[in-house]
Chains A and B, each alone.
Chain A
Protein backbone atom coordinates (compact mmCIF):
# COMPACT_ATOMS: atom_id res chain seq x y z
CA UNK A 1 0.00 0.00 0.00
CA UNK A 2 1.25 3.52 -0.70
CA UNK A 3 2.33 5.74 2.15
CA UNK A 4 0.19 8.79 2.59
CA UNK A 5 2.34 10.27 5.34
CA UNK A 6 6.08 9.81 5.70
CA UNK A 7 7.74 11.30 8.72
CA UNK A 8 11.52 11.55 8.92
CA UNK A 9 13.58 12.63 11.91
CA UNK A 10 10.81 14.85 13.15
CA UNK A 11 11.54 17.08 16.14
CA UNK A 12 9.52 19.74 17.82
CA UNK A 13 11.21 21.89 20.41
CA UNK A 14 9.27 24.52 22.30
CA UNK A 15 11.01 27.70 23.44
CA UNK A 16 14.22 26.82 21.68
CA UNK A 17 17.36 28.54 22.93
CA UNK A 18 15.55 29.64 26.02
CA UNK A 19 15.94 28.43 29.58
CA UNK A 20 12.56 26.69 29.50
CA UNK A 21 13.35 24.74 26.34
CA UNK A 22 11.25 21.59 25.99
CA UNK A 23 11.74 18.92 23.36
CA UNK A 24 8.21 17.60 22.88
CA UNK A 25 9.23 15.32 20.01
CA UNK A 26 12.68 13.95 19.24
CA UNK A 27 13.65 12.64 15.84
CA UNK A 28 10.62 10.56 15.16
CA UNK A 29 10.35 8.62 11.93
CA UNK A 30 7.27 6.72 10.84
CA UNK A 31 5.10 6.01 7.84
CA UNK A 32 1.36 5.78 7.59
CA UNK A 33 -0.27 4.11 4.63
CA UNK A 34 -3.41 5.27 2.93
CA UNK A 35 -6.51 3.65 4.42
CA UNK A 36 -4.79 2.70 7.66
CA UNK A 37 -6.11 3.23 11.17
CA UNK A 38 -3.32 4.02 13.61
CA UNK A 39 -3.28 4.84 17.29
CA UNK A 40 -0.79 7.07 19.07
CA UNK A 41 -0.48 6.07 22.67
CA UNK A 42 1.67 7.05 25.58
CA UNK A 43 1.47 8.70 28.97
CA UNK A 44 0.39 12.27 29.45
CA UNK A 45 3.00 14.70 28.21
CA UNK A 46 4.64 12.18 25.95
CA UNK A 47 3.96 14.28 22.85
CA UNK A 48 0.87 12.69 21.27
CA UNK A 49 -0.94 15.95 20.69
CA UNK A 50 2.23 17.58 19.42
CA UNK A 51 2.73 14.84 16.87
CA UNK A 52 -0.90 15.00 15.79
CA UNK A 53 -0.68 18.73 15.25
CA UNK A 54 2.41 18.30 13.11
CA UNK A 55 0.86 15.49 11.10
CA UNK A 56 -2.28 17.57 10.68
CA UNK A 57 -0.31 20.60 9.43
CA UNK A 58 -1.33 22.76 12.39
CA UNK A 59 2.25 23.75 13.00
CA UNK A 60 5.71 23.35 11.55
CA UNK A 61 8.41 21.08 12.94
CA UNK A 62 11.63 22.42 14.39
CA UNK A 63 13.50 19.99 12.23
CA UNK A 64 12.82 16.96 10.10
CA UNK A 65 10.42 16.39 7.26
CA UNK A 66 6.83 15.44 6.73
CA UNK A 67 5.82 14.20 3.32
CA UNK A 68 2.13 14.29 2.62
CA UNK A 69 1.50 12.36 -0.60
CA UNK A 70 5.04 13.15 -1.81
CA UNK A 71 4.73 16.83 -0.97
CA UNK A 72 7.08 18.15 1.66
CA UNK A 73 4.86 20.16 3.98
CA UNK A 74 7.33 20.83 6.76
CA UNK A 75 8.43 24.27 5.51
CA UNK A 76 5.29 25.58 3.85
CA UNK A 77 4.00 29.04 4.70
CA UNK A 78 1.04 28.98 7.07
CA UNK A 79 -1.35 29.92 4.32
CA UNK A 80 -0.69 26.63 2.51
CA UNK A 81 -0.87 24.68 5.72
CA UNK A 82 -4.35 26.08 6.23
CA UNK A 83 -5.31 25.07 2.75
CA UNK A 84 -4.00 21.53 3.33
CA UNK A 85 -5.83 21.36 6.64
CA UNK A 86 -9.14 22.08 5.04
CA UNK A 87 -8.62 19.98 1.94
CA UNK A 88 -6.94 16.89 3.30
CA UNK A 89 -7.69 16.63 7.00
CA UNK A 90 -10.73 16.34 9.20
CA UNK A 91 -10.17 17.10 12.86
CA UNK A 92 -12.06 15.78 15.84
CA UNK A 93 -10.88 17.56 18.95
CA UNK A 94 -10.96 16.31 22.49
CA UNK A 95 -13.20 19.21 23.58
CA UNK A 96 -15.17 19.05 20.30
CA UNK A 97 -14.54 22.77 19.74
CA UNK A 98 -17.92 23.61 18.31
CA UNK A 99 -19.10 27.22 18.35
CA UNK A 100 -21.67 27.18 21.10
CA UNK A 101 -23.88 30.03 19.89
CA UNK A 102 -24.20 28.68 16.39
CA UNK A 103 -26.69 26.11 15.22
CA UNK A 104 -25.71 22.57 14.34
CA UNK A 105 -25.97 23.26 10.63
CA UNK A 106 -23.91 26.44 10.84
CA UNK A 107 -21.19 24.61 12.73
CA UNK A 108 -20.96 21.88 10.15
CA UNK A 109 -20.79 24.47 7.36
CA UNK A 110 -17.82 26.30 8.91
CA UNK A 111 -14.97 24.47 7.12
CA UNK A 112 -16.59 25.20 3.77
CA UNK A 113 -16.45 29.01 4.01
CA UNK A 114 -12.95 29.33 2.55
CA UNK A 115 -13.90 27.11 -0.39
CA UNK A 116 -15.40 28.09 -3.71
CA UNK A 117 -18.75 26.52 -3.00
CA UNK A 118 -21.71 28.88 -3.04
CA UNK A 119 -23.64 29.19 0.19
CA UNK A 120 -26.59 27.15 -1.02
CA UNK A 121 -24.39 24.26 -2.02
CA UNK A 122 -22.52 24.46 1.27
CA UNK A 123 -25.81 24.02 3.05
CA UNK A 124 -26.70 21.00 0.93
CA UNK A 125 -23.33 19.35 1.57
CA UNK A 126 -23.68 19.94 5.29
CA UNK A 127 -27.22 18.58 5.41
CA UNK A 128 -26.15 15.47 3.53
CA UNK A 129 -23.48 14.75 6.13
CA UNK A 130 -25.88 15.43 8.98
CA UNK A 131 -28.36 13.01 7.47
CA UNK A 132 -25.71 10.29 7.44
CA UNK A 133 -25.36 10.70 11.19
CA UNK A 134 -29.09 11.02 11.76
CA UNK A 135 -28.62 14.55 13.03
CA UNK A 136 -30.66 16.33 10.40
CA UNK A 137 -33.57 16.60 12.81
CA UNK A 138 -31.66 18.85 15.21
CA UNK A 139 -30.09 20.96 12.49
CA UNK A 140 -31.54 24.21 13.80
CA UNK A 141 -30.67 23.63 17.44
CA UNK A 142 -27.90 25.55 19.14
CA UNK A 143 -24.87 23.54 20.23
CA UNK A 144 -25.27 24.51 23.86
CA UNK A 145 -28.63 22.71 23.95
CA UNK A 146 -27.10 19.34 23.01
CA UNK A 147 -25.66 16.40 24.92
CA UNK A 148 -22.02 15.37 24.81
CA UNK A 149 -22.64 12.40 22.56
CA UNK A 150 -24.56 14.49 20.09
CA UNK A 151 -21.84 17.11 20.11
CA UNK A 152 -19.30 14.41 19.38
CA UNK A 153 -21.22 13.29 16.33
CA UNK A 154 -21.60 16.86 15.13
CA UNK A 155 -17.86 17.35 15.54
CA UNK A 156 -17.32 14.29 13.36
CA UNK A 157 -19.78 15.60 10.79
CA UNK A 158 -17.89 18.84 10.68
CA UNK A 159 -14.63 16.97 10.19
CA UNK A 160 -16.14 15.06 7.29
CA UNK A 161 -17.92 17.85 5.48
CA UNK A 162 -14.94 18.65 3.27
CA UNK A 163 -14.58 14.96 2.42
CA UNK A 164 -11.02 14.70 3.77
CA UNK A 165 -8.65 11.79 3.15
CA UNK A 166 -7.30 11.70 6.67
CA UNK A 167 -9.19 11.94 9.94
CA UNK A 168 -7.27 13.08 12.99
CA UNK A 169 -8.81 12.56 16.40
CA UNK A 170 -7.26 13.57 19.71
CA UNK A 171 -8.66 11.63 22.68
CA UNK A 172 -12.06 11.25 21.03
CA UNK A 173 -13.45 9.12 23.83
CA UNK A 174 -12.23 11.19 26.75
CA UNK A 175 -15.66 12.63 27.50
CA UNK A 176 -17.77 9.64 26.48
CA UNK A 177 -19.11 6.68 28.45
CA UNK A 178 -18.26 3.19 27.25
CA UNK A 179 -21.44 2.76 25.23
CA UNK A 180 -20.90 5.99 23.30
CA UNK A 181 -17.26 5.05 22.85
CA UNK A 182 -18.37 1.85 21.15
CA UNK A 183 -20.65 3.87 18.87
CA UNK A 184 -17.78 6.08 18.00
CA UNK A 185 -15.56 3.16 17.14
CA UNK A 186 -18.27 1.85 14.86
CA UNK A 187 -18.49 5.16 13.09
CA UNK A 188 -14.73 5.22 12.65
CA UNK A 189 -14.78 1.67 11.35
CA UNK A 190 -17.36 2.63 8.77
CA UNK A 191 -15.29 5.62 7.70
CA UNK A 192 -12.26 3.42 7.37
CA UNK A 193 -14.22 1.07 5.14
CA UNK A 194 -15.00 3.98 2.89
CA UNK A 195 -11.25 4.46 2.47
CA UNK A 196 -10.34 7.10 5.02
CA UNK A 197 -7.04 7.06 6.85
CA UNK A 198 -7.56 7.58 10.56
CA UNK A 199 -5.06 8.69 13.19
CA UNK A 200 -6.16 8.61 16.81
CA UNK A 201 -4.25 9.73 19.87
CA UNK A 202 -5.63 8.02 22.93
CA UNK A 203 -5.15 6.83 26.50
CA UNK A 204 -8.16 4.62 26.35
CA UNK A 205 -7.36 0.89 26.16
CA UNK A 206 -10.90 0.40 24.88
CA UNK A 207 -9.80 2.24 21.80
CA UNK A 208 -6.25 1.12 21.18
CA UNK A 209 -6.99 -2.49 21.91
CA UNK A 210 -10.00 -2.61 19.62
CA UNK A 211 -9.85 -4.56 16.40
CA UNK A 212 -10.23 -1.32 14.48
CA UNK A 213 -6.68 -0.21 15.18
CA UNK A 214 -4.29 -1.66 12.67
CA UNK A 215 -1.09 -0.21 14.10
CA UNK A 216 -0.07 1.48 17.27
CA UNK A 217 2.78 3.91 17.89
CA UNK A 218 3.88 4.19 21.47
CA UNK A 219 5.40 7.48 22.54
CA UNK A 220 7.48 8.17 25.60
CA UNK A 221 9.22 11.46 26.30
CA UNK A 222 8.81 12.47 22.72
CA UNK A 223 10.33 9.33 21.29
CA UNK A 224 8.84 6.23 19.74
CA UNK A 225 9.37 3.14 21.81
CA UNK A 226 9.11 -0.27 20.26
CA UNK A 227 5.65 -1.12 21.32
CA UNK A 228 2.94 -3.58 20.86
CA UNK A 229 1.81 -3.12 17.31
CA UNK A 230 -1.14 -5.24 16.58
Chain B
Protein backbone atom coordinates (compact mmCIF):
# COMPACT_ATOMS: atom_id res chain seq x y z
CA UNK B 1 0.00 0.00 0.00
CA UNK B 2 2.65 2.42 1.12
CA UNK B 3 4.64 1.78 -2.02
CA UNK B 4 2.13 3.48 -4.27
CA UNK B 5 4.10 6.32 -5.91
CA UNK B 6 1.65 9.02 -4.87
CA UNK B 7 1.58 7.85 -1.29
CA UNK B 8 5.31 7.51 -1.17
CA UNK B 9 5.82 11.04 -2.40
CA UNK B 10 3.24 12.44 0.01
CA UNK B 11 4.86 10.74 2.96
CA UNK B 12 8.39 11.64 1.86
CA UNK B 13 7.39 15.22 1.20
CA UNK B 14 5.64 15.55 4.54
CA UNK B 15 8.56 14.01 6.34
CA UNK B 16 10.95 16.46 4.70
CA UNK B 17 8.68 19.38 5.55
CA UNK B 18 8.36 18.22 9.11
CA UNK B 19 12.12 18.01 9.48
CA UNK B 20 12.50 21.40 7.87
CA UNK B 21 9.88 22.83 10.23
CA UNK B 22 11.59 21.30 13.23
CA UNK B 23 14.83 22.88 12.16
CA UNK B 24 13.06 26.20 11.57
CA UNK B 25 11.44 26.14 14.99
CA UNK B 26 14.74 25.32 16.62
CA UNK B 27 16.17 28.43 14.99
CA UNK B 28 12.96 30.23 15.95
CA UNK B 29 13.41 29.34 19.60
CA UNK B 30 16.94 30.65 19.53
CA UNK B 31 15.70 33.87 18.03
CA UNK B 32 12.95 34.09 20.64
CA UNK B 33 15.48 33.75 23.42
CA UNK B 34 18.23 35.99 22.12
CA UNK B 35 16.62 38.59 19.89
CA UNK B 36 17.58 42.13 20.79
CA UNK B 37 16.92 44.82 18.21
CA UNK B 38 19.04 47.33 20.12
CA UNK B 39 22.12 45.21 20.23
CA UNK B 40 24.74 45.54 17.55
CA UNK B 41 26.54 42.40 18.53
CA UNK B 42 27.65 39.90 15.94
CA UNK B 43 25.21 37.47 17.42
CA UNK B 44 22.27 39.71 16.68
CA UNK B 45 23.52 40.07 13.13
CA UNK B 46 23.70 36.29 12.79
CA UNK B 47 20.19 35.94 14.19
CA UNK B 48 18.96 38.53 11.76
CA UNK B 49 20.44 36.52 8.94
CA UNK B 50 18.85 33.37 10.32
CA UNK B 51 15.44 35.01 9.96
CA UNK B 52 16.02 34.91 6.23
CA UNK B 53 16.66 31.22 6.38
CA UNK B 54 13.49 30.69 8.35
CA UNK B 55 11.38 32.72 5.99
CA UNK B 56 12.80 30.89 3.00
CA UNK B 57 12.13 27.56 4.65
CA UNK B 58 8.59 28.58 5.42
CA UNK B 59 7.94 29.90 1.94
CA UNK B 60 8.96 26.49 0.64
CA UNK B 61 6.86 24.78 3.26
CA UNK B 62 3.82 26.79 2.21
CA UNK B 63 4.45 25.95 -1.43
CA UNK B 64 4.71 22.34 -0.42
CA UNK B 65 1.45 22.47 1.51
CA UNK B 66 -0.39 23.77 -1.53
CA UNK B 67 0.92 21.03 -3.77
CA UNK B 68 0.57 18.38 -1.14
CA UNK B 69 -3.10 19.17 -0.60
CA UNK B 70 -3.67 18.79 -4.32
CA UNK B 71 -1.61 15.62 -4.47
CA UNK B 72 -3.48 14.16 -1.52
CA UNK B 73 -6.84 14.57 -3.20
CA UNK B 74 -5.33 13.33 -6.46
CA UNK B 75 -3.94 10.26 -4.77
CA UNK B 76 -7.18 9.50 -3.00
CA UNK B 77 -8.76 9.74 -6.41
CA UNK B 78 -6.18 7.44 -7.94
CA UNK B 79 -6.35 4.68 -5.35
CA UNK B 80 -10.11 4.39 -5.38
CA UNK B 81 -9.83 1.42 -7.72
CA UNK B 82 -8.33 -0.52 -4.87
CA UNK B 83 -11.52 -0.38 -2.88
CA UNK B 84 -14.59 -2.22 -3.83
CA UNK B 85 -17.39 0.25 -3.91
CA UNK B 86 -15.29 3.37 -4.26
CA UNK B 87 -15.80 5.46 -7.35
CA UNK B 88 -13.78 8.56 -6.51
CA UNK B 89 -11.78 10.24 -3.76
CA UNK B 90 -14.74 10.16 -1.40
CA UNK B 91 -14.71 6.40 -1.46
CA UNK B 92 -11.00 6.22 -0.70
CA UNK B 93 -11.40 8.67 2.16
CA UNK B 94 -14.26 6.62 3.52
CA UNK B 95 -12.15 3.50 3.39
CA UNK B 96 -10.27 4.84 6.37
CA UNK B 97 -11.97 7.72 8.07
CA UNK B 98 -8.66 9.25 9.16
CA UNK B 99 -8.50 10.48 5.60
CA UNK B 100 -11.04 13.18 6.30
CA UNK B 101 -8.98 14.29 9.26
CA UNK B 102 -5.93 14.54 7.04
CA UNK B 103 -7.87 16.73 4.69
CA UNK B 104 -8.95 18.95 7.57
CA UNK B 105 -5.43 19.28 8.96
CA UNK B 106 -4.11 20.06 5.49
CA UNK B 107 -6.71 22.80 5.12
CA UNK B 108 -5.82 24.33 8.47
CA UNK B 109 -2.12 24.13 7.68
CA UNK B 110 -2.67 25.80 4.36
CA UNK B 111 -4.33 28.77 6.01
CA UNK B 112 -1.85 28.88 8.88
CA UNK B 113 1.16 28.78 6.58
CA UNK B 114 -0.32 31.42 4.30
CA UNK B 115 -1.00 33.76 7.21
CA UNK B 116 2.47 33.24 8.54
CA UNK B 117 4.09 33.99 5.24
CA UNK B 118 2.02 37.13 4.71
CA UNK B 119 2.63 38.47 8.23
CA UNK B 120 6.30 37.67 7.96
CA UNK B 121 6.52 39.59 4.74
CA UNK B 122 4.84 42.56 6.38
CA UNK B 123 7.13 42.40 9.36
CA UNK B 124 10.24 42.19 7.22
CA UNK B 125 9.26 45.41 5.55
CA UNK B 126 9.42 47.37 8.79
CA UNK B 127 12.55 48.73 10.38
CA UNK B 128 11.79 47.62 13.91
CA UNK B 129 10.26 44.17 13.18
CA UNK B 130 7.61 44.34 15.95
CA UNK B 131 6.28 40.89 15.12
CA UNK B 132 9.47 38.94 15.71
CA UNK B 133 8.30 37.30 18.93
CA UNK B 134 4.71 36.49 17.95
CA UNK B 135 5.95 35.22 14.60
CA UNK B 136 8.39 32.71 15.96
CA UNK B 137 6.03 31.71 18.71
CA UNK B 138 3.44 30.95 16.04
CA UNK B 139 6.06 29.01 14.13
CA UNK B 140 6.79 26.86 17.14
CA UNK B 141 3.07 26.28 17.58
CA UNK B 142 2.43 25.35 13.95
CA UNK B 143 5.21 22.79 13.80
CA UNK B 144 3.36 20.12 15.82
CA UNK B 145 0.51 20.51 13.35
CA UNK B 146 2.88 19.59 10.53
CA UNK B 147 3.93 16.59 12.58
CA UNK B 148 0.29 15.71 13.08
CA UNK B 149 -0.27 15.97 9.35
CA UNK B 150 2.55 13.51 8.74
CA UNK B 151 1.33 11.17 11.45
CA UNK B 152 -2.27 11.19 10.25
CA UNK B 153 -1.22 10.60 6.69
CA UNK B 154 0.79 7.65 7.83
CA UNK B 155 -2.17 6.35 9.79
CA UNK B 156 -4.46 6.84 6.85
CA UNK B 157 -2.34 5.18 4.23
CA UNK B 158 -1.07 2.36 6.39
CA UNK B 159 -4.57 1.67 7.63
CA UNK B 160 -6.06 1.32 4.18
CA UNK B 161 -7.29 -2.19 3.64
CA UNK B 162 -7.98 -3.01 0.04
CA UNK B 163 -10.55 -5.64 1.05
CA UNK B 164 -12.70 -3.06 2.76
CA UNK B 165 -15.90 -2.37 0.96
CA UNK B 166 -16.47 1.33 1.27
CA UNK B 167 -19.31 3.60 0.55
CA UNK B 168 -18.72 6.33 -1.94
CA UNK B 169 -20.07 9.75 -2.68
CA UNK B 170 -23.26 8.15 -3.85
CA UNK B 171 -24.13 7.09 -0.32
CA UNK B 172 -22.14 9.58 1.76
CA UNK B 173 -23.65 12.54 0.02
CA UNK B 174 -27.01 10.97 -0.50
CA UNK B 175 -30.01 12.68 0.89
CA UNK B 176 -31.04 9.68 2.96
CA UNK B 177 -27.97 9.32 5.18
CA UNK B 178 -27.54 10.62 8.68
CA UNK B 179 -24.10 12.26 8.53
CA UNK B 180 -23.42 15.97 8.24
CA UNK B 181 -22.52 15.41 4.63
CA UNK B 182 -25.83 13.89 3.82
CA UNK B 183 -27.61 16.58 5.78
CA UNK B 184 -25.93 19.00 3.42
CA UNK B 185 -26.84 17.02 0.38
CA UNK B 186 -30.33 16.54 1.61
CA UNK B 187 -30.99 20.20 2.27
CA UNK B 188 -33.76 21.60 0.16
CA UNK B 189 -32.11 23.26 -2.77
CA UNK B 190 -34.09 26.43 -2.55
CA UNK B 191 -33.21 27.12 1.06
CA UNK B 192 -29.55 26.33 0.66
CA UNK B 193 -29.33 28.50 -2.42
CA UNK B 194 -30.96 31.31 -0.52
CA UNK B 195 -28.52 30.97 2.35
CA UNK B 196 -25.58 30.77 -0.04
CA UNK B 197 -26.51 33.85 -1.98
CA UNK B 198 -27.35 35.74 1.19
CA UNK B 199 -23.96 35.09 2.73
CA UNK B 200 -22.08 35.65 -0.49
CA UNK B 201 -24.00 38.83 -1.12
CA UNK B 202 -23.21 40.25 2.28
CA UNK B 203 -19.58 39.21 1.88
CA UNK B 204 -19.42 41.09 -1.39
CA UNK B 205 -21.09 44.18 0.04
CA UNK B 206 -18.76 44.29 3.03
CA UNK B 207 -15.79 43.71 0.76
CA UNK B 208 -16.70 46.60 -1.49
CA UNK B 209 -17.38 48.77 1.58
CA UNK B 210 -13.90 47.92 2.85
CA UNK B 211 -12.39 48.94 -0.45
CA UNK B 212 -14.13 52.29 -0.23
CA UNK B 213 -13.92 53.05 3.48
CA UNK B 214 -11.15 52.71 6.03
CA UNK B 215 -13.41 51.90 8.96
CA UNK B 216 -11.98 49.31 11.35
CA UNK B 217 -15.29 47.67 12.17
CA UNK B 218 -15.80 46.79 8.51
CA UNK B 219 -12.62 44.77 8.56
CA UNK B 220 -13.77 42.77 11.53
CA UNK B 221 -17.07 42.19 9.79
CA UNK B 222 -15.29 41.08 6.65
CA UNK B 223 -13.30 38.59 8.68
CA UNK B 224 -16.47 37.04 10.04
CA UNK B 225 -18.11 37.12 6.63
CA UNK B 226 -15.11 35.38 5.08
CA UNK B 227 -15.18 32.54 7.57
CA UNK B 228 -18.93 32.14 7.18
CA UNK B 229 -18.67 32.32 3.44
CA UNK B 230 -16.02 29.61 3.40
CA UNK B 231 -18.11 27.08 5.25
CA UNK B 232 -21.36 27.99 3.55
CA UNK B 233 -19.67 27.75 0.17
CA UNK B 234 -18.23 24.33 0.89
CA UNK B 235 -21.70 23.32 1.94
CA UNK B 236 -23.15 24.83 -1.19
CA UNK B 237 -20.67 22.97 -3.37
CA UNK B 238 -21.86 19.70 -1.88
CA UNK B 239 -25.48 20.70 -1.76
CA UNK B 240 -26.16 22.09 -5.20
CA UNK B 241 -23.19 23.57 -7.06
CA UNK B 242 -21.85 20.07 -7.73
CA UNK B 243 -25.17 19.09 -9.22
CA UNK B 244 -24.91 21.86 -11.76
CA UNK B 245 -21.31 21.04 -12.55
CA UNK B 246 -22.01 17.35 -13.12
CA UNK B 247 -25.41 18.07 -14.59
CA UNK B 248 -26.85 15.23 -12.61
CA UNK B 249 -29.58 15.49 -10.04
CA UNK B 250 -27.91 13.41 -7.33
CA UNK B 251 -24.15 13.57 -7.78
CA UNK B 252 -22.93 15.57 -4.77
CA UNK B 253 -19.20 14.77 -4.80
CA UNK B 254 -16.88 17.71 -4.05
CA UNK B 255 -13.83 15.98 -5.57
CA UNK B 256 -14.94 14.67 -8.93
CA UNK B 257 -14.85 18.18 -10.33
CA UNK B 258 -11.06 18.14 -9.95
CA UNK B 259 -10.88 15.46 -12.62
CA UNK B 260 -10.13 15.77 -16.29
CA UNK B 261 -13.68 14.65 -17.11
CA UNK B 262 -14.91 17.97 -15.84
CA UNK B 263 -12.08 20.00 -17.36
CA UNK B 264 -10.42 20.43 -13.96
CA UNK B 265 -13.03 23.04 -13.23
CA UNK B 266 -12.71 22.36 -9.52
CA UNK B 267 -9.27 23.94 -9.37
CA UNK B 268 -10.22 27.50 -10.26
CA UNK B 269 -13.34 27.04 -8.14
CA UNK B 270 -11.48 26.07 -5.00
CA UNK B 271 -8.57 28.45 -5.64
CA UNK B 272 -11.07 31.28 -5.97
CA UNK B 273 -12.81 30.27 -2.78
CA UNK B 274 -9.56 29.91 -0.86
CA UNK B 275 -8.16 33.24 -1.95
CA UNK B 276 -11.45 35.01 -1.26
CA UNK B 277 -11.42 33.58 2.25
CA UNK B 278 -7.73 34.13 2.91
CA UNK B 279 -7.56 37.69 1.65
CA UNK B 280 -10.91 38.51 3.17
CA UNK B 281 -9.62 37.44 6.58
CA UNK B 282 -6.29 39.27 6.36
CA UNK B 283 -7.45 42.87 6.91
CA UNK B 284 -9.35 41.79 10.01
CA UNK B 285 -6.39 39.82 11.35
CA UNK B 286 -4.11 42.80 10.79
CA UNK B 287 -6.41 45.22 12.57
CA UNK B 288 -4.87 44.67 16.02
CA UNK B 289 -1.40 44.98 14.48
CA UNK B 290 -2.09 48.56 13.54
CA UNK B 291 -1.02 49.63 16.99
CA UNK B 292 2.55 49.38 15.72
CA UNK B 293 3.16 52.50 13.75
CA UNK B 294 5.59 50.91 11.33
CA UNK B 295 3.25 48.03 10.59
CA UNK B 296 0.32 50.34 10.11
CA UNK B 297 2.12 51.99 7.20
CA UNK B 298 2.86 48.64 5.59
CA UNK B 299 -0.65 47.34 6.15
CA UNK B 300 -2.11 50.45 4.57
CA UNK B 301 0.05 50.01 1.54
CA UNK B 302 -0.91 46.37 0.87
CA UNK B 303 -4.45 46.21 2.18
CA UNK B 304 -6.04 47.44 -1.01
CA UNK B 305 -4.22 44.73 -2.89
CA UNK B 306 -5.57 42.06 -0.53
CA UNK B 307 -9.10 43.33 -0.93
CA UNK B 308 -8.72 43.25 -4.68
CA UNK B 309 -7.37 39.70 -4.56
CA UNK B 310 -10.34 38.75 -2.43
CA UNK B 311 -12.67 40.35 -4.93
CA UNK B 312 -11.06 38.58 -7.88
CA UNK B 313 -11.17 35.31 -5.95
CA UNK B 314 -14.81 35.55 -5.07
CA UNK B 315 -15.73 36.61 -8.59
CA UNK B 316 -13.93 33.60 -10.06
CA UNK B 317 -15.68 31.37 -7.56
CA UNK B 318 -19.05 32.90 -8.36
CA UNK B 319 -18.48 32.83 -12.08
CA UNK B 320 -17.71 29.14 -12.07
CA UNK B 321 -20.30 28.03 -9.58
CA UNK B 322 -23.11 30.13 -10.95
CA UNK B 323 -22.11 30.12 -14.59
CA UNK B 324 -23.46 26.60 -14.91
CA UNK B 325 -26.62 27.56 -13.07
CA UNK B 326 -27.37 30.40 -15.39
CA UNK B 327 -26.18 29.12 -18.71
CA UNK B 328 -26.09 25.34 -18.34
CA UNK B 329 -28.93 23.31 -19.71
CA UNK B 330 -29.41 21.56 -16.39
CA UNK B 331 -32.21 22.93 -14.22
CA UNK B 332 -32.77 22.11 -10.58
CA UNK B 333 -35.44 24.57 -9.73
CA UNK B 334 -38.48 24.10 -11.82
CA UNK B 335 -39.50 27.60 -12.74
Whether chain A touches chain B in the assembled complex (some CB pair under 8 Å):
yes
User: Residues of A at under 8 Å CB distance from B?
Assistant: 16, 60-63, 74-80
- For B127, list chain A residues within 8 Å (CB): 76-77, 80
Q: Please, which residue of chain A has its CB at the minimum distance from the CB of B128? A: A77
Q: Which residue of B lies closest to A71 (CB)?
A: B127
Q: Given the known A-B contacts A76-B127, A77-B127, A77-B129, are A16 and B41 also in contact in the complex, defined by CB atoms under 8 Å?
A: yes
A78-B129 Cα distance, complex, nearest whole Å: 12
Chain B residues with CB under 8 Å of A76's CB are 127
Cα separation A75 to B44 with both chains bound (whole Å): 11
Q: Give which listed residue, A62, A63, A74, A77, contacts B48 with CB less than 8 A.
A: A77
In the assembled complex, 21 residue pairs joining A and B whose CB atoms fall closer than 8 Å, in A order, are: A16-B41, A16-B42, A60-B40, A60-B45, A61-B40, A62-B40, A62-B41, A63-B40, A74-B40, A75-B37, A75-B38, A75-B40, A76-B127, A77-B48, A77-B127, A77-B129, A78-B45, A78-B48, A78-B49, A79-B124, A80-B127
Cα-based distance from A188 to B40 in the complex (angstroms): 34
| Residues of chain B lying within 8 A (CB to CB) of residue A74 | 40
Per the bound structure, the CA–CA distance linking A79 and B124 in Å amounts to: 8
Q: Which residue of B lies closest to A14 (CB)?
A: B42
Residues of A within 8 Å of B129, CB to CB, are 77
Chain A interface main SS type: loop
> Which chain A residues lie closer than 8 Å to B38 at the CB level?
75
Measured in the bound complex, the distance between the Cα atoms of B38 and A63 in whole Å is 10
Mask: chain B, 31-55; 1 = CB below 8 Å from A; 0 = not: 0000001101110010011000000
Shortest distance in angstroms between B162's beta carbon and chain A's nearest beta carbon? Answer: 53
B3 to chain A, nearest CB (A): 46
Q: A74 vs B45: C-alpha distance in the bound complex, in angstroms?
A: 12
B45 and chain A: residue at smallest CB distance: A60
Smallest Cβ distance from A73 to chain B, in angstroms? 10
Q: Mark B107-138, 1 if CB is under 8 A from A, else 0.
A: 00000000000000000100101000000000
Chain B positions near chain A (C-beta within 8 angstroms): 37-38, 40-42, 45, 48-49, 124, 127, 129
Q: Please name the 8 residue pairs, one residue from A and one from B, whose CB atoms are nearest each other, closest first.
A: A60-B40, A62-B40, A76-B127, A80-B127, A77-B48, A78-B48, A61-B40, A77-B127
B37, B38, B42 — most chain A CB neighbours (10 Å): B42
Q: In whole angstroms, what is the CA distance A80 to B128 when docked?
A: 11
The docked-state distance in angstroms from the alpha carbon of A73 to that of B163 is 68
| A33 CA to B137 CA, complexed, in Å | 45
Closest B residue to A79 using CB positions: B124
In the assembled complex, the Cα of A185 lies from the Cα of B48 at a distance in Å of 40
A150 to B292, CA, bound (A): 50
Min C-beta distance of B258 to chain A, whole Å: 38
The chain B residue with its CB closest to the CB of A64 is: B40
Separation of A67 and B6 alpha carbons in the complex (Å): 57
Q: Apart from A16-B42, A61-B40, A79-B124, what 6 extra A-B contacts exist at CB < 8 Å?
A: A63-B40, A74-B40, A75-B38, A75-B40, A77-B127, A78-B45
Q: How far is the CA of A61 from the CA of B37 in the complex (A)?
A: 14
Cβ contacts under 8 Å, B40 to chain A: 60-63, 74-75
CA distance A16 to B40 in the complex (A): 11
For A77, the chain B residues whose CB sits under 8 A away are 48, 127, 129
Chain A: which residue is nearest B124 at the CB level? A79
Residue of B nearest to A60 (CB): B40
In the complex, A63→B237 CA distance in Å? 61
Q: Report the separation of the CA atoms of residues A16 and B45 in the bound assembly, to the nearest whole angstrom.
A: 13
B49 to chain A minimum Cβ distance, whole angstroms, is 7
A16, A74, A75, A77, most chain B CB atoms within 10 A: A77
Residues of B within 8 A of A62 (CB): 40-41
When distances are taken between beta carbons in the complex, the residues of chain B under 8 Å from A60 are 40, 45
With a cutoff of 8 Å between Cβ atoms, the chain B residues found around residue A61 in the complex are 40
Cα A61 to Cα B38 with chains together (Å): 12
Cα(A147)–Cα(B142), bound, Å: 57
Collect the chain B residues with CB atoms within 8 Å of residue A80's CB: 127
CA distance A62 to B45 in the complex (A): 11
Cβ distance B59 to chain A, nearest Cβ, rounded Å? 16
Chain A residues with CB under 8 Å of B124's CB are: 79
Taking the nearest CB of chain B, how far is it from the CB of A223, in angstroms? 20
Provide the bound-state CA to CA distance between A74 and B48, in Å: 15
- The complex places the Cα of A75 from the Cα of B124 at a distance, in Å, of 15
Q: How far is the CA of A79 from the CA of B127 in the complex (A)?
A: 9
**In the complex, A78 Cα to B49 Cα: how many Å?**
8
The CA of A57 and the CA of B41, in the complex, are separated in Å by 16
| Complex Cα gap A78–B41 (Å) | 13
- Give Cα distance in the complex from A62 to B44, angstroms: 11
**How far is A63 from B48 in the complex, measured between Cα atoms in Å?**
18
Say how far A165's CB is from chain B's closest CB, in angstroms: 20
**CB nearest to B38 among chain A residues:** A75
Bound CA–CA A134/B38 (angstroms): 47
